[in-house]
Amino acid sequence: MRVRLSALAPVLALLGLTLALTVIWDRFVPREDHVTGIFFTAQNLGNVLRQNAEYGILAVGMTFVILTAGIDLSVGSLLAFSSVVAAGVIDSHPQSGPGLALLVITLGLLAGSGLGFLNGLGVTLGKMQPFIVTLAMMSVARGFAFLWTGGRGVDLIGDQPALFERLGQDLGRVPVPALILLSSVAVSHLVLTRTRFGRFVYAIGSNENAARLSGIAVERIKTLVYTICGFLAGVAAMIYTARTNAGRPDDGIGFELDAIAAVVIGGTNLMGGRGSVIGTLIGALTIGVLNNVLGLRGVDPNLQRVLKGLIIVAAVLVQRERKTK
């Protein structure tokens, strides 16, 4: 299944509209610091990519789940748990080096993947609704994070292995988190469009009963989809931990909402069977640009949430209108 440019047209239009409003607002609502001039600097654009890489990677994992007509409300808590696992291992090992960095990354990814796998089992073997399973996991993973740290954050300033620390830094002028995000999008796009697994994901989301009757191992595919989502939550957690120099059990609160918003704005149908990670990337960038512009303008964070919610509603209405036509 290839991504058609016409399917991405509404998302590209929204991103273009966001950028256009940035310029117009700055011109007709003057302010001393000239937001447009600040926004279009290489440093600020790098910050947009760096600060939104975690949301984008979570959104890529969420795309897999939503394509099967599921949902994962636990990704923010999975990020927190994976983050404190990584930070705790670093903090308990005074000797740093490449070996420790690889161990930390492996354990962090296993933590996210393992809890994602449990989500998948709850949905397939437990025959429970994804909303209920992942809502429960949101609480369970957050509880594990607090138990792991004793309710305290782990400060890693000056303690991170150099290889691990690079995950949150720049490679030349390009943020490493942005490179990881683009790599995740590229690999996921190939998996969804060029493999049997990807075709099965779309088939399950389009009509699960028909997919099962055609011989597709629906339970196995869905379990793997939730595991992939957990794995990518672990990837986002490693970047987040390296970038913030800390692991805190209350990190990631609300991240699942931004991830779902990016997927919906990117054109993926909440009922499953239609969408792409390319659209999700554009959706994540749209949210990132919006957050950055509103932040530069000093807009109240509560008003920012209102605007973000309205954008999600508008995106869903556009999807429904396109489906009707």
Quick count: other Cβ atoms within 10 Å of Cβ 92? 8
Q: Of 19-23, 48-52, 183-187, 271-275, which one has max mean pLDDT?
A: 183-187
Residue corresponding to tokens 């990670």: 277
Give mean pLDDT, residues 300-324.
73
Residues β-bridged to residue 174: 171
| The length of the chain, given as a count of residues | 325
pLDDT at position 36, please?
53
- From CA 148, how far away is CA 86, in angstroms rounded? 11
- From CA 166, how far away is CA 160, in angstroms rounded? 9
- From CA 220, how far away is CA 179, in angstroms rounded? 30
254 has pLDDT over 80 = yes
- From CA 77, how far away is CA 229, in angstroms rounded? 12
Strands (E) located in the chain: 154-155, 170-171, 174-175, 246-247
Distance of CA 302 to the CA centre of its chain: 21
- From CA 46, how far away is CA 210, in angstroms rounded? 45
- From CA 316, how far away is CA 319, in angstroms rounded? 5
pLDDT at position 319, please?
65
Give mean pLDDT, residues 59-74.
96
Beta carbons of 242 and 168 less than 8 angstroms apart? yes
What CATH number should be reported for the domain whose range is 5-22+47-324? 1.10.3470
**Residue 275 backbone dihedrals phi, psi, to 5 degrees:** 145, 180
Residue corresponding to tokens 């009963």: 209
What confidence category does residue 179 fall into, taking pLDDT thresholds of 50, 70 and 90? very high
Q: What single-letter DSSP state applies at residue 300?
A: -
Tokens standing for residue 283: 């959706």
H or E element, residue 23: helix 5-28
Single-letter residue type at 41: T
Q: Per residue in 276-296, pLDDT tens?
A: 999 899 888 888 877 777 776
Domain extent listing, the chain = 5-22+47-324
pLDDT at position 1, please?
46
Q: Per residue in 189-211, pLDDT tens?
A: 999 999 999 999 999 999 999 99
Q: Per residue in 94-114, pLDDT tens?
A: 666 778 889 999 999 999 999
- From CA 182, how far away is CA 179, in angstroms rounded? 5
- From CA 324, how far away is CA 40, in angstroms rounded? 38
49 has pLDDT over 60 = yes
Quick count: other Cβ atoms within 10 Å of Cβ 166? 14
Q: What single-letter DSSP state applies at residue 246?
A: E
Q: What single-letter DSSP state applies at residue 3?
A: P
Beta carbons of 75 and 308 less than 8 angstroms apart? no
